[in-house]
Structure 1
Amino acid sequence: MPLILTEEQTMLKEAADGFLSENAPIAHLRKLRDERDPDGVSRDLWRQFGEMGFAGVIIPEDHGGSGLGPVEAGVLAEALGRTLTPSPFMGSGVLSAKVLVEAGSDAQKSAWLPRIAAGEAILSLAVDEGAKHRPDAIATTAERSGNGFRLNGAKGFVLDGHVADALIVAASTEEGLTLFLVDPKTAGVEIERTVMVDAHNAARVVLTDVQVDADAVIGSVGGGKPALDAALDLGRACTAAMLNGAGDQAFQITLDYLRTRKQFGKLIGEFQALQHRAAHLYTEIELARAAVIGALQRLEAGKDPKGLAVSVAKAKAGKVAELAVQEAVQMHGGVGMTDEFDVGLFMKRVRVLNEFGGDAAFHQEKVARAQGY
């Protein structure tokens, strides 16, 4: 399959870029940050996502969604990367929606998917527990208690967990990994908002003897790994797309600066050394974009069961976006590190996105082990 967008996907990209440029530019992030907004996200904007069909991009039409696939989700993610928009899209529209689509009961799907698609509800997936992404080492436990389970443990890096209407918690049971739908208002649930370095939001969640009924289980007891893996692979691919968007936008900002900034009576874009660096970065961005589109297409076709194409895309996009923001700051000179210039915000965002869903080292090791190294 060609590593380019179809006509319909290109139209979606143009619609998303136009909508976000008008309604949620970088100034939107700055406003939420500078006014110390207690939520750090705009629920009104999330509802607009629902009206545009963005929030429910992967949700089936019979549950109020757009019924589209991973490539379209990646298109929206890349647009969000360009504008640095704080949005529940990743936590709700991608990760949580994918878990429910894959393994939710009819009651769970009916209760939550239409609300996510409409931008009326925010859900958060709680997986990570330590300093690094390790979904294969879940220490949170769920023990049988009465007609349900008792949960104990702690989670970190829970996207928008402080404003979540429900949490999807990964926990270990005697039967294996199990996913639970937890009301954040349940006794024993403590949530602390953590404003990240890029002014986006996550949360720490502590579960102390949290009692949930058996109908809180998503899928089967001990059978949560397939749904979690599917959600994480989609989330990683979309995160790679966000990295592409952030890296490419930092590059575009830098090109504009090279065309306008003068030094020694000449535009700095006329200096051959900077031209070579810009040309190299352009080729790297295009390679990363091809890797991400390829991974999203393989997910849509069901041809990446182990997520190896996704790992290649996440590692490549992360490395390239890191190069892009470093070059952006370098080519802007000292002013690149000031808050007045947006390139510093892109550098911070790329740093966070590189950690989410596993950094380059995590994915390089995953590919190496799959190939017998």
Structure 2
Amino acid sequence: MDFNLTEERRMLQDSLGRFLSDKYDHESRRKVIAAGKPYDAGLFAGLAELGVLGALFAEDQGGFGGLGFDLSVVFEELGRAGVIEPVLPAVLTGSLVAENADLVENIIAGEAVVTLAHSEAAARYDLNYVTTTSSNGVLNGAKVHVLNGAQASYLVVSAREGGDDWDKDGIALFLVRTDATGVTITDHVNNDGTSGATVVLDNVTPDARLTGGFAALELAVARGTLALSAEALGAMESAKALTLDYLKERKQFGIPIGKFQALQHRMADVLIEVEQARSAVINLAGHMEADRDTRERHVSATKNLMGRVGAQVVEEAVQMHGGIGMTDEYALSHFARRITMIDHWLGDVDHHLARFIDLSAGEA
């Protein structure tokens, strides 16, 4: 398997990196969050114009990518810059709404945000736990942790048409306008500055019942997990770079603290762990088109490892910085929050360890 990036992906990586370096920094992100805005609409439009959203979709969907390495290239750069704009929702829903060509075109152009409304309060990350119901043509239930729910034009809602709360075959997916009668959205700001929401559905008539059920949902979440893992990798790279610079600049006893052997050893451990995380992301990207069981084992193995490595990188980076490491004015604090939050999106360390064991035993 060739893990080298194609020329097109290298070009995308370089152009996205340059764009974010010129247009996006820690202070601009802080200003957006402090102003109570969910994200910078101008920057999001710029990302769409650059082709970032198109890279998340296959050619037959109107894009020019859509494979695992396309996702990892985009999200590593987004993570490196600490971007909070709503790119992840396009990954989570793009494959689910692919039959609606006009809507996909609007997503790629950055003119519509479509997000996934699946998680429920008691689900504990289990995808097949759905109590929202579809009966007599209407939806009833509540969804939590809906990323950019308050900014979305449409929701992809999972609902149960039959069976108990753990029956995968009873799950169906529906397209719902956020301004539809009976939809109530309560937004909030997550700890990392991203926008989340709780969505309540009260006798809501959906726009459409989408093709595909649990299997389509599982694939979409697998793609989202790859995107998050690549984003965490980019954030770890930035945290590592900030720490290296600090060790060179901060002095004690007249010499840079990076000269102290104990800190050198700790930094070496961080470098090794980040490279292990990179290998895991590359491995998952290369297995996104594999059969379901193989793909999902790699999904859980990667998400578990990213959570463990992320926690170590955050702890070491903050400790080596001292108190400044968690001040809002300093960029490291934002990368630390984002890395920590990513562990709790789409399943945390403990969930994916148990899931990997079950998948390996053929029980999931």
TM-score by length of 1: 0.91
CA 1:72–1:142: 2 relative to 1, 3 Å? same
Find 1:71's aligned residue among 56, 69, 72: 69
* Further displaced range: 248-257 or 25-34: 25-34
Residue 146 of structure 2 corresponds to which residue in structure 1? 158
1:2 CA displacement: 4.2
Residue 212 of structure 1 corresponds to which residue in structure 2? 206
Q: Deviations over 1:98-142 (max 9, x none)?
A: 2223xx3xxx2x221111111111001011112632212111111
Structure 1's consecutive aligned runs of 4 or more residues displaced over 6 angstroms after TM superposition are none
1:305 CA displacement: 4.8
1:48 CA displacement: 1.7
Residue 21 of structure 2 corresponds to which residue in structure 1? 21
1:32 CA displacement: 0.9
Residue 325 of structure 1 corresponds to which residue in structure 2? 314
Residue 135 of structure 1 corresponds to which residue in structure 2? 127
Q: How does 1:1-373 map to 2 (within 5 A)?
A: 1-37=1-37, 40-92=38-90, 94-101=91-98, 104=99, 108=100, 110-130=101-121, 132-143=124-135, 145=136, 149-174=137-162, 176-212=170-206, 216-219=208-211, 223-301=212-290, 305-372=294-361
Identity %: 37
1:83 CA displacement: 1.4
Provide the secondary structure at the position in 1 that maps to 2:29: helix
1:22 CA displacement: 1.6
In structure 1, how many angstroms separate the alpha carbons of the residues matched to 2:292 and 2:206? Answer: 36
TM-score by length of 2: 0.93
In structure 1, how many angstroms separate the alpha carbons of the residues matched to 2:61 and 2:3? Answer: 30
- Where do 5+ consecutive residues of structure 2 fail to align? 163-168
Alpha carbons 2:310, 2:340 under 8 Å: kept = no
CA 1:358–1:19: 2 relative to 1, 3 Å? same
Give the length in aligned residue pairs: 355
Provide the secondary structure at the position in 1 that maps to 2:185: strand
Provide the secondary structure at the position in 2 that maps to 1:100: coil
1:303 CA displacement: 7.1
Q: Superposition RMSD on alpha carbons, in Å?
A: 1.7
In structure 1, how many angstroms separate the alpha carbons of the residues matched to 2:209 and 2:250? Answer: 58
Q: Deviations over 1:232-267 (max 9, x none)?
A: 001011111111111121011000000111011110
In structure 2, how many angstroms separate the alpha carbons of the residues matched to 1:24 and 1:164? Answer: 23
CA 1:51–1:240: 2 relative to 1, 3 Å? same
CA 1:100–1:196: 2 relative to 1, 3 Å? same
In structure 1, how many angstroms separate the alpha carbons of the residues matched to 2:199 and 2:237? Answer: 34
